[in-house]
């Protein structure tokens, strides 16, 4: 069990993703009060049908995105371990996208600031809906001293892995 | 402006490449809602006075892709495809699941109206308000999986190059046709992903006739504003909780029925409906789950059910075939209906049907029809280009399906669909083959029979429906019953998946409509006025028909002859539709919806609904 006081992490079992995108709906409702898939901090990619998966911040142990920000618009939440975006300070330069090994941050549709998962202040909405539906792709766990950076993969990399896992040699035809 | 709508539609003329925005006033949206209802209105207004002359596969037909106000909000997003149907010559609201409707609304459009015909293959790319008609020569001829792969990559690369500041672009949504649509096969689908299809209506052929290979859309905005977001959230939760409670569809998908509908309700097509019962445990859903499923839950935008599963054949001659569950309809039509009771063979045929861009129901029906004619010696090997079309021979059916998709040899005839093929074979062979055609008004009957009386459709369901054999739009009395066609018109017009409504209170969908649009709507008002108006318009265009076929209600408001033959096997052996009861119920239905003794909408009915112009045009049928 985790309490709100300790840093958390969202454990992920990508191969179980149904592609229902309820995480996108929950995230955008929480942050934007709209259903807005492209403004969701977690986005489900389906570059190959069936190989759907959520793409969202892995909270790397060395936070390369935070270090790359030229205007200090990114910081680390002491409470949760999440990367926090100061939307007013952000100049939408995109340097954090290039710094992220998984190219996970993406620009808000209105183009003024970057979007990165903030762990909903310790109560991630995406986890809630994923658990409610019983898909259990996402699970809230205490943050440990693990190599979370492994999970910062580009959509292409993860797609390849999942497609091969599902379709074996046939996957090459779809990539 | 009514909330829940993006507020504008895109109209694309493929003759002139002109693209414009169109708007409908609030009264039209209030009355016709969206999807199927609005399609009916648009088609009547633009083509009604010349309907009989409009060739569904000619450039004068209009192809529609329409969302509804609930698309994206009600769990389970869909899009409605419509136009003049090359199957019924009427209007079918054919919906398909996927992200397309949501992406379109997020791009700022409620729908797309396509007119004219392109000179060479094209596809439409929509990124918010940037619209482009692009060359599709390189994907013309490609199958479903290749088309999705090429267009997803190509369009994503374009977005990345044009808008690099965004970061990684998610894939856009794609609606497309396979070779069958390109070759104007009347049983061709408009498809999404690999396995999702708008099959009823035959709009894949319409898309092909316009040389429109695909429509690709990426919207970056939010879904439109709603009247009460708090209420919408509560209602989403209510629908989801209901679905989570009843695990049936989630756990097994509709494919659980491949065994059950045969064994338990005796209403599954077996060898072209010669039987509707089987007890083949080899076809149990557990066999599918253990042998071919490689993903247990697969779904579309916002769906709590995720009834799809991904299946792949792992061993044997069909190794590598990939499709979804298959769902019940394709399990039945490409399984028992062809004498096939093996999960691997069923997955193989379903995968092939997907790849060719054919409708599994309509094509499974015509394949079964041909096989029965072979069984009876009416079609012989020479008629079938040397093919021995024996029951349970998956390879033979695959060969014939390919011939249909490419209109080769006998495939060219069968590509016309069961009813039209039957008429031609009848002429050629001087034999009554219509009695083996299990269809209604040019549309093959869904895989739910009516003889046993144990499944949901009834003796009127297909005979009196304005969408013929469509099992998702069936007629019944009383008109306000939850299985009534008037209620099904609501699902297809508000455009969401009706698979998420089974357990919820009936009025919840109207509460949802209110929370999104801000408009009060009761079930009573819906059934008595708005849905009835849409139904009359659909009926009017169905009866006007043409140019190749017309329906006479006295003859064609009828069940397939097969449904009057007693079931030959199983616990419901001997059961059949009792003709006098059907005649009585049909009369009652015609009265209830305001049609005269010939089945034509009465003047009074039409005038009461404000459809004076329809009344005038129908004068010639009376």
pLDDT band at A1 (very low <50, low <70, confident <90, very high): very low
Give the number of other CB atoms < 10 A from CB of residue B317: 11
Average pLDDT over residues B115-130: 98
With a CB-CB cutoff of 8 Å, which residues 27-46 of chain A face chain B? 28-29, 32-39, 43-46
Q: Does A164 touch chain B (CB under 8 A)?
A: no
Are B165 and A175 within 8 A, CB to CB?
no
B560-612 pLDDT, tens digit each: 999 999 999 999 999 999 999 999 999 999 999 999 999 999 999 999 999 99
Rounded to a whole number of angstroms, the distance from the CA of A3 to the nearest CA of chain B is 26
B326: cis peptide before it, omega within 30°?
Answer: yes
A19-35 pLDDT, tens digit each: 999 999 999 999 999 99
Residue in chain A closest to B312 (alpha carbons) equals A167
Measured between beta carbons, the chain A residues lying within 8 angstroms of B294 are: 50, 166-167
The third-level CATH classification (topology) of the domain covering A8-173 is Alpha-Beta Plaits (3.30.70)
Are B306 and A39 within 8 A, CB to CB?
no
pLDDT band at B533 (very low <50, low <70, confident <90, very high): very high
Q: Does B441 touch chain A (CB under 8 A)?
A: no
Are A38 and B194 within 8 A, CB to CB?
no
Q: Does B298 touch chain A (CB under 8 A)?
A: yes
pLDDT score at A36? 98
Are B300 and A20 within 8 A, CB to CB?
yes
Q: Which of B271, B261, B470, B468 is nearest to B367 (CA)?
A: B271
With a CB-CB cutoff of 8 Å, which residues 55-94 of chain A face chain B? 55, 92, 94
Average pLDDT over residues B69-93: 98
pLDDT score at A4? 54
Give the number of other CB atoms < 10 A from CB of residue A88: 8
Measured distance CA(B267)–CA(B278) in Å, rounded:
10
Instruction: Look over chain B and give the mean of its residue pLDDT values, rounded to a whole number.
Output: 97
Task: Give all strands (DSSP E) within B111-240, no chain letters.
Answer: 111-115, 122-127, 130-135, 173-176, 190-192, 196-198, 212-218
- Give the number of C-alpha atoms closer than 13 A to the C-alpha of residue B415, restricted to the C-beta side: 23
Measured distance CA(B102)–CA(B112) in Å, rounded:
13
B350-376 pLDDT, tens digit each: 999 999 999 999 999 999 999 999 999
Measured between beta carbons, the chain B residues lying within 8 angstroms of A104 are: 168
In the predicted model, is pLDDT for residue B73 greater than 90?
yes
B379-414 pLDDT, tens digit each: 999 999 999 999 999 999 999 999 999 999 999 999
Query: What would the CATH number be for the domain defined by B246-444?
Result: 1.10.569.10
- Mutant choice from B235, B293, B298, B315 vs A, greatest count of A C-beta within 10 A: B298
What is the 3 state secondary structure string of B215-272? EEEECCCCCCCCCCHHHHHHHHHHHHHHHHHCCHHHHHCHHHHHHHHHHCCCCCCECC
Which among A45, A97, A103 has the least Cβ separation from residue B170? A45
Are B221 and A25 within 8 A, CB to CB?
no
pLDDT score at B389? 98
**% of chain A at pLDDT higher than 70:** 97
Q: Does B114 touch chain A (CB under 8 A)?
A: no
Rounded to a whole number of angstroms, the distance from the CA of A25 to the nearest CA of chain B is 7
Q: Enumerate the domain spans of chain B.
A: 246-444
A133-148 pLDDT, tens digit each: 999 999 999 999 999 9
Are B301 and A166 within 8 A, CB to CB?
no
End-to-end CA distance of chain B: 40
pLDDT score at B449? 98
Q: DSSP characters for B30-58? A: HHH-SHHHHHHHHHHHHHGGGGGG--TTS
Are A132 and B240 within 8 A, CB to CB?
yes
- Mutant choice from A13, A14, A18 vs B, greatest count of B C-beta within 10 A: A18
In the predicted model, is pLDDT for residue B522 greater than 50?
yes
At a CB cut-off of 8 Å and minimum separation 6, what does B122 contact? Answer: B14, B133, B134, B135, B136, B211, B212, B213
**Per the structure block, which two tokens stand in for A54?**
């959520």
B453-506 pLDDT, tens digit each: 999 999 999 999 999 999 999 999 999 998 899 999 999 999 999 999 988 888
Measured distance CA(B60)–CA(B62) in Å, rounded:
6
pLDDT score at B282? 95
Which among A29, A103, A135 has the least Cβ separation from residue B167? A103
A76-85 pLDDT, tens digit each: 999 999 999 9
């Amino acid at each position: 069990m985790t309490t709100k006081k300790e840093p958390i992490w969202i454990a992920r079992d990508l191969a179980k993703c149904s592609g229902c995108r309820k995480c996108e709906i929950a995230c955008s409702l929480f942050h934007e009060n709209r259903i807005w898939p492209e403004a969701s901090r977690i986005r489900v990619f389906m570059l190959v049908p069936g190989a759907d998966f959520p793409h969202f911040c892995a909270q790397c142990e060395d936070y390369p995105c935070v270090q790359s920000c030229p205007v200090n618009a990114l910081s680390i939440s002491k409470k949760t371990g999440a990367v926090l975006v100061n939307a007013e300070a952000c100049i939408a330069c995109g340097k954090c996208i290039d710094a992220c090994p998984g190219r996970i941050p993406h620009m808000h549709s209105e183009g003024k600031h970057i979007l990165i998962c903030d762990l909903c202040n310790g109560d991630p909405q995406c986890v809630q809906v994923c658990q409610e539906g019983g898909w259990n792709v996402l699970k809230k766990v205490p943050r440990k001293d693990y190599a979370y950076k492994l999970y910062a993969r580009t959509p292409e990399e993860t797609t390849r892995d999942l497609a091969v896992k599902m379709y074996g040699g046939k996957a090459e035809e779809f990539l | 402006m009514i909330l829940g709508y993006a507020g504008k539609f895109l109209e694309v003329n493929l003759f002139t490449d002109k693209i414009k925005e169109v708007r409908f006033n609030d009264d039209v949206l209030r009355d016709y809602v969206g999807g199927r209802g609005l399609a009916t209105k648009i088609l009547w207004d633009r083509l009604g006075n010349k309907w009989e002359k409009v060739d569904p596969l000619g450039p004068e037909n209009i192809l529609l892709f329409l969302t509804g106000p609930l698309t994206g909000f009600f769990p389970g997003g869909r899009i409605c495809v419509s136009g003049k149907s090359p199957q019924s010559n009427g209007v079918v609201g054919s919906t398909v699941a996927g992200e397309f409707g949501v992406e379109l609304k997020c791009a700022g459009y409620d729908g797309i109206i396509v007119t004219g015909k392109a000179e060479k293959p094209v596809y439409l790319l929509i990124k918010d308000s940037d619209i482009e008609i692009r060359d599709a020569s390189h994907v013309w001829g490609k199958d479903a999986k290749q088309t999705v792969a090429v267009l997803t990559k190509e369009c994503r690369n374009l977005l990345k190059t044009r808008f690099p500041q965004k970061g990684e672009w998610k894939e856009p949504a794609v609606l497309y046709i396979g070779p069958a649509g390109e070759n104007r096969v009347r049983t061709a689908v408009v498809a999404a992903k690999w396995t999702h299809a708008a099959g009823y209506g035959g709009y894949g052929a319409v898309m092909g006739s316009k040389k429109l290979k695909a429509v690709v859309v990426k919207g970056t905005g939010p879904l439109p504003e709603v009247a009460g977001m708090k209420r919408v959230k509560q209602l989403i939760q209510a629908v989801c909780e209901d679905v989570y409670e009843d695990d049936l569809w989630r756990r097994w998908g509709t494919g659980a029925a491949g065994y059950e509908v045969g064994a338990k309700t005796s209403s599954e097509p077996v060898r072209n409906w010669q039987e509707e019962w089987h007890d083949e445990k080899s076809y149990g859903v557990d066999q599918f789950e253990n042998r071919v499923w490689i993903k247990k839950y697969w779904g579309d935008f916002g769906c709590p059910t995720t009834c799809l599963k991904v299946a792949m054949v792992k061993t044997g001659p069909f190794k590598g075939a990939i499709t979804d569950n298959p769902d019940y309809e394709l399990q039945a039509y490409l399984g028992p209906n062809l004498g096939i009771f093996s999960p691997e063979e069923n997955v193989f045929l379903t995968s092939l049907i997907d790849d060719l861009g054919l409708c599994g129901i309509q094509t499974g029906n015509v394949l079964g029809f041909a096989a029965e004619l072979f069984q009876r010696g009416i079609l012989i090997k020479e008629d079938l280009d040397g093919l021995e079309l024996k029951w349970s021979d998956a390879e033979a059916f695959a060969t014939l399906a390919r011939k249909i998709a490419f209109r080769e040899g006998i495939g060219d005839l069968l590509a016309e669909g069961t009813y039209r093929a039957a008429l031609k074979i009848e002429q050629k062979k001087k034999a009554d083959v219509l009695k083996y055609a299990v269809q209604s008004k040019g549309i093959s009957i869904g895989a739910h029979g009516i003889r046993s009386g144990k499944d949901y459709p009834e003796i009127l369901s297909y005979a009196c429906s304005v969408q013929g054999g469509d099992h998702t739009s069936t007629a019944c009395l009383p008109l306000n019953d939850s299985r009534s066609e008037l209620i099904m018109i609501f699902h297809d017009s508000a455009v969401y998946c009706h698979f998420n409504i089974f357990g919820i209170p009936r009025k919840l969908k109207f509460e949802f409509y209110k929370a999104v649009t801000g408009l009060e709507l009761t079930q009573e008002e819906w059934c008595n006025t708005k849905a009835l108006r849409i139904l009359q318009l659909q009926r009017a265009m169905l009866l006007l028909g043409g140019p190749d076929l017309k329906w006479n209600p006295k003859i064609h408001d009828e069940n397939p002859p097969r449904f009057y033959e007693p079931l030959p096997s199983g616990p419901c052996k001997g059961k059949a539709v009792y003709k006098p009861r059907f005649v009585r119920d049909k009369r009652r239905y015609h009265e209830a919806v305001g049609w005269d003794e010939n089945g034509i909408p009465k003047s009074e009915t039409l005038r009461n609904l404000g459809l004076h112009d329809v009344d005038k045009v129908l004068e010639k049928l009376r």
